[in-house]
Amino acid sequence: MTAGDIPITIGMPDQGFEGYRFVGYNLYDTLILWDLSQGETEADVKPGLATEWSVDPENHNVWTYKLREGVKFHDGCDFNADNVVWNYNRYMDEKHPNFNPQQFGAIRTRTTNIASVDKVDDYTVTFTTKEPDSLFPLQTSFIFLISQCALEAVGGDYGAYAMAPSGTGPYKFDKLTPRERLELVPNTDYWDETRIPKHDRLVLLPMPEATTRAAALMSGQVDFVEAPSPDTIPMLEGSGMQIVTAPYPHNWGYQLNFVDGPFKDKAVRQAANYAINREEMVAMLNGYAIEGYGVYPPTAKYYGNPFRYEYDPEKAKAMLAEAGCEPCEITLAISTSGSGQMQPLPMNELVKSQLEAAGFTVTLDVMDWNKLIDVALKGRPTYPEYDGINVSRAVQDPFSGMFRFMMSSQFAPNGSNFGHYKNDESDALVKAIYEEFDPVKRDELLVKAHEMFVEEALMLFITHDVNPRAIAPNVKGFVQAQSWFQDLTPVSVE
């Protein structure tokens, strides 16, 4: 793993989606799971601890979930409606006896729209939302359910529970040495027989240093490493390692400031997008990236047929001249490292040189990752001096990928709309999507939203990561899904 510590084992993991990938979906299940069994198309959701879910046709604020029967937690306790109600309340309600601020904060953005969770019978629950949300089921695919009896067995002490966690997932907890290793063993009673792990033990080791990960793999100490740096990949391949890659919903670009600087003019935003030579960027990354012309890679469900900003520096110059932005001075906030940031320094240098070739004057303000997150959270009211911020994002669901950047209700510091983009048309479109409960029509609107996002040049689009992983030659069966999450259960070691 690239994390510096073992992700927390008490339900909602920390360490970003890497924590979800290796601890969350291995120890635990969610009501709705992600289907990670193939790598041909973008991963979609599938039944998890819920077998079916539907919205009340009369009242679009009520969702009914049918739960899977006969599922047991690793500690032997039954999974049922009481458990779902208990878990959701412990995440949402600050007066709940098992409230934990870290857990509350970690999942808060996905629970804000839930008014209540109620048990109908032992295997049916209803969720009541505050506002209609046609995409609500997606939120429940990120919320992990832990065993209430296991937490009560340790008197509600999360520190003790972390050392003896119990879920319903395909792996059982075996051993945890904080900051060093987490050992998981197959759950041979897993409810989905096709996903009972085909290896004896899964050992997770945090190794934040890319060189160390490569060396550990090549010296035979580990079988599987995340995110080798592109320049070590030829060497890894040379020593017989398998390199797997796949597009996934990751977006590396810049959120822009729509109020204070030149990017308030749409023509300037579009000019910046025309100035980017994405082919050159991918080449610099040794081919381990995809050219980015939108929020999503083209294989994604909502990609559609958006306007395409082909590299055209002359056109960019002409547009800047017409917009009267000469020289067009912009300041970009960038980080030295960070989750999903790929190789921020050389990549930003390249973007700067490309923008400058088209008539921009670019100042890169380099800062530590925590500081950049702070800038993103507080937004342009606190940081009007930044015309763009280079925060790469997970764009797995439409809210994370698009809505939070295009809705005026998400103005920072109350949301992720860093640069205060406001457009009645886009607000209306998002509202229409939330209120469209016919999946086909809703998906058509989502495609429209993405096309509008691109046409408006709501971001400076650069590239998408392909998440390379390096695997020892004797490890078989791993299929890289087009997702932030991955299924390790089919992996076997020869």
Can you state the angle between helices 439-455 and 424-434, rounded to 10 degrees? 160
Task: Answer whether 442's CB lies under 8 Å from 398's CB.
Answer: no
Q: Bridge-partner residues for 174, per DSSP?
A: none
Please identify, using beta-carbon distances, which residue of 215 and 479 lies nearer to another protein. 215
Count Cβ atoms within 10 A of the Cβ of residue 333 and give its class: 0-12 exposed, 13-18 middle, 19 or more buried.
buried
Say whether residue 220 binds another protein (CB under 8 A). yes
Say whether residue 234 binds another protein (CB under 8 A). no
Say whether residue 97 binds another protein (CB under 8 A). no
In angstroms, what is the minimal distance from the CB of 99 to another protein? 9
- In the three-class reduction of DSSP (H, G, I as helix; E, B as strand; rest coil), residue 87 is classed as helix
Name which position in 33, 36, 49, 218 contacts another protein (CB under 8 A).
Answer: 218
Q: Which of residues 139-168 bind another protein (CB under 8 A)?
A: 158-159, 162
Q: What's the CA gap between 473 and 52, in Å, rounded? A: 40
> In 10 A of CB 308, how many CB atoms?
9
Say whether residue 177 binds another protein (CB under 8 A). yes
Say whether residue 221 binds another protein (CB under 8 A). yes
Task: Answer whether 6's CB lies under 8 Å from 23's CB.
Answer: yes
Say whether residue 415 binds another protein (CB under 8 A). yes
Please identify, using beta-carbon distances, which residue of 59 and 239 lies nearer to another protein. 239
Name which position in 82, 118, 121, 368 contacts another protein (CB under 8 A).
Answer: 368
Task: Answer whether 287's CB lies under 8 Å from 465's CB.
Answer: no
In angstroms, what is the minimal distance from the CB of 119 to another protein? 26
In angstroms, what is the minimal distance from the CB of 175 to another protein? 9
Task: Answer whether 209's CB lies under 8 Å from 323's CB.
Answer: no
Please identify, using beta-carbon distances, which residue of 74 and 393 lies nearer to another protein. 393
Phi, psi of 228 (to 5 degrees): -65, 150
Q: What's the CA gap between 471 and 366, in Å, rounded? A: 34
Strands 181-186 and 388-389: unpaired
Q: Determine the residue type at 319.
A: M
Name which position in 68, 74, 404, 464 contacts another protein (CB under 8 A).
Answer: 404
In angstroms, what is the minimal distance from the CB of 240 to another protein? 13
Name which position in 40, 94, 193, 424 contacts another protein (CB under 8 A).
Answer: 94
Q: What's the chain's length in residues?
A: 494
Say whether residue 93 binds another protein (CB under 8 A). no
Q: Determine the residue type at 413.
A: P
Q: Using CB under 8 A, which of the segments 83-91, 123-131, 147-155, 364-372 binds another protein?
A: 364-372
Name which position in 188, 211, 305, 353 contacts another protein (CB under 8 A).
Answer: 211
Please identify, using beta-carbon distances, which residue of 232 and 273 lies nearer to another protein. 232
Q: Which of residues 273-332 bind another protein (CB under 8 A)?
A: none
In angstroms, what is the minimal distance from the CB of 210 to another protein? 11
Say whether residue 178 binds another protein (CB under 8 A). yes
Please identify, using beta-carbon distances, which residue of 187 and 255 lies nearer to another protein. 255
Among candidate residues 179, 184, 182, 150, the one with its CA nearest the CA of residue 164: 150
Name which position in 36, 84, 107, 151 contacts another protein (CB under 8 A).
Answer: 107
Say whether residue 105 binds another protein (CB under 8 A). yes
- Please measure the distance between the N-terminal and C-terminal CA atoms of the chain and give it in whole angstroms: 22
Task: Answer whether 321's CB lies under 8 Å from 375's CB.
Answer: no
- Tokens at 130, concatenated: 């505050």
- In the three-class reduction of DSSP (H, G, I as helix; E, B as strand; rest coil), residue 123 is classed as coil
Q: What's the CA gap between 218 and 74, in Å, rounded? A: 35
Interface contacts to another protein, rule CB under 8 A? 4-5, 8, 10, 14, 94, 100-102, 104-109, 112, 158-159, 162, 177-181, 205-209, 211-212, 215-216, 218-221, 367-371, 373-374, 376-377, 391, 393, 400, 404, 410, 413-416
